[in-house]
């Protein structure tokens, strides 16, 4: 494995498995002088904890206390690497022994074996959703940097199990179950999740990320465009199977005259572009959506094979979420923040001489 670093300038390198000693990461390239505390990172980690989404959440209790190991002195970054670690405390390896040789459908068991020839089968190992802890912590560092530049990132659920929400109050989403952008949808989604759970099944959904205050000029054509880097960032999260920017797939069904965002002296007349033109931020709100597949660990019997190729009937035990939503929402927010922090520093260096 060698893809554990994200970013070219503001770079997060992560490590850790679900049932190893712990998980963590190193942020290299964060400028000096940024206000950063353990509490700021912990706050983001807490958003990822079970309980944000009622029954959709797993019953596991994961304290997930982060420890800041380097790079901060007297409350501000020093310009040296910012390292953090979260100890694994609730491991319960016994829950997973029965799948040591069986490939769970929709999971990475089979491909990890194909790639590495061996795998840590305990709870998914590196391919477990717990891996995203390091992303959220790294994203908190990115958000600390962005905050000093007037950029904020938001993420909320716009659809769950096929039921869309009206994005009436995205600003309030961070404090609402499911990170819902409206109040009324919560009860409806809660009922939907209970119903699915009763059938031993799981659901997916769609998450929207938005970034406010992004200055025009971020993104490095032609391959490291802001939209390309953001697509990479969001698609790198386990359950994500699709990413779109602005009008996205709907733009493929519009004509040019209706899709173009006219420009006026007061600004853009629309935002079908999602705040990105030619791969470079335009100064509008950056808007992207990620399609989240249903969690593959259903409580029903499934046909699969073991690592000898023999067919078996599998019924996954253990405690599992009904949906990656809402726990994936802070992860996608973190990935958006990491992308913007990287692109921001890329751009600053480029303009330095010009100014």
Angle at 344 between CA 26 and CA 206, to 5 degrees: 80
| Residue 233, CA distances (Å) to 93, 226, 261, 338, 342 in order | 30, 10, 26, 8, 11
Region of 42-50, 89-97, 173-181, 264-272 interacting with a second copy (CB under 8 A): 264-272
Per CB under 8 A, 94 contacts a second copy: no
Q: Give the residue with the Cβ less far from a second copy, 245 or 337.
A: 245
| Distance from C-alpha of 182 to C-alpha of 156, rounded to nearest angstrom | 10
| Distance from C-alpha of 323 to C-alpha of 341, rounded to nearest angstrom | 29
Per CB under 8 A, 172 contacts a second copy: no
Region of 16-24, 92-100, 165-173, 178-186 interacting with a second copy (CB under 8 A): 16-24
Q: Are 29 and 121 in contact (CB under 8 A)?
A: no
Q: Are 10 and 30 in contact (CB under 8 A)?
A: yes
From the list 61, 80, 184, 315, which residue makes contact with a second copy (rule: CB under 8 A)? 80
Q: Give least dist CB 57 to a second copy, A.
A: 16
Q: Whose CA is closest to 146, among 337, 302, 346?
A: 337
Q: Which of residues 210-239 bind a second copy (CB under 8 A)?
A: 216-225, 227-236, 238
Region of 46-54, 91-99, 166-174, 201-209 interacting with a second copy (CB under 8 A): 201-209
- 3-class secondary structure, 2: coil
- Is 75 annotated as contributing to ligand binding? no
From the list 47, 48, 85, 327, which residue makes contact with a second copy (rule: CB under 8 A)? 85
- Is 295 annotated as contributing to ligand binding? yes
| Distance from C-alpha of 156 to C-alpha of 209, rounded to nearest angstrom | 7
- Is 2 annotated as contributing to ligand binding? no
Query: Cα dihedral sign for 128, 248, 206, 142?
Result: positive
Q: Which of residues 34-63 bind a second copy (CB under 8 A)?
A: 34
| Residue 259, CA distances (Å) to 214, 249, 252 in order | 22, 12, 9
For 174, which DSSP code? G
For 277, which DSSP code? E
What stretch of H or E contains 342?
A: helix 328-352
Q: Give least dist CB 219 to a second copy, A.
A: 8
Q: Which of residues 102-121 bind a second copy (CB under 8 A)?
A: 103, 105-108, 110-112, 114-120
Region of 91-99, 171-179, 245-253, 326-334 interacting with a second copy (CB under 8 A): 245-253
Q: Which of residues 297-316 bind a second copy (CB under 8 A)?
A: 297-298, 300, 302-305, 309-311
Per CB under 8 A, 282 contacts a second copy: yes
Q: Give least dist CB 190 to a second copy, A.
A: 17
Angle at 120 between CA 115 and CA 126, to 5 degrees: 75
- Is 70 annotated as contributing to ligand binding? no
Q: Give least dist CB 22 to a second copy, A.
A: 6
- Is 126 annotated as contributing to ligand binding? yes
Q: Give the residue with the Cβ less far from a second copy, 89 or 260.
A: 260
């Amino acid at each position: 494995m060698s893809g554990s670093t994200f970013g070219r300038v503001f770079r997060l390198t992560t490590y850790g498995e679900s049932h190893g000693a712990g998980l963590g990461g190193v942020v290299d390239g964060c400028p000096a002088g940024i206000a950063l505390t353990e509490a700021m990172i912990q706050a983001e980690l807490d958003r990822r904890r079970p309980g944000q989404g009622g029954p959709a959440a797993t019953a596991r209790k994961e304290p997930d206390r982060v420890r800041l190991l380097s790079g901060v002195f007297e409350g501000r970054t020093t310009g040296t690497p910012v390292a953090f670690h979260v100890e694994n405390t609730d491991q319960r390896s016994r829950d997973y022994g029965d799948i040591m040789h069986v490939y769970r459908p929709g999971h990475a068991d089979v491909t990890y074996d194909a790639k590495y020839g061996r795998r840590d089968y305990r709870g998914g190992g590196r391919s477990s959703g717990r891996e995203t802890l390091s992303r959220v912590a790294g994203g908190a560092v990115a958000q600390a940097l962005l905050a000093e530049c007037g950029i904020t990132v938001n993420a909320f659920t716009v659809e769950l199990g096929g039921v869309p929400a009206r994005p009436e109050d995205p600003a309030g989403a961070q404090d609402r179950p499911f990170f819902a952008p409206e109040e009324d949808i919560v009860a409806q989604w809660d009922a939907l999740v209970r119903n699915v759970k009763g059938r031993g099944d799981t659901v997916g959904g769609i998450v929207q990320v938005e970034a406010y205050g992004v200055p025009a000029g971020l993104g490095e054509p032609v391959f490291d465009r802001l939209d390309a880097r953001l697509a990479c960032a969001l698609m790198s999260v386990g359950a994500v199977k699709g990413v779109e920017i602005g009008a996205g797939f709907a733009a493929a069904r519009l004509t040019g005259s209706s899709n173009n965002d006219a420009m006026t002296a007061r600004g853009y007349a629309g935002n079908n572009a999602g705040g990105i033109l030619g791969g470079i931020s335009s100064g509008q709100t950056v808007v992207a959506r990620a399609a989240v597949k249903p969690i593959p660990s259903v409580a029903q019997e499934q046909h699969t094979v073991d690592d000898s190729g023999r067919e078996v009937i599998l019924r996954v035990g253990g405690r599992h979420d009904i949906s990656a939503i809402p726990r994936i929402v802070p992860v996608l927010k973190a990935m958006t923040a990491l992308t913007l922090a990287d692109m921001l520093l890329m751009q600053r260096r480029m303009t330095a001489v010009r100014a």
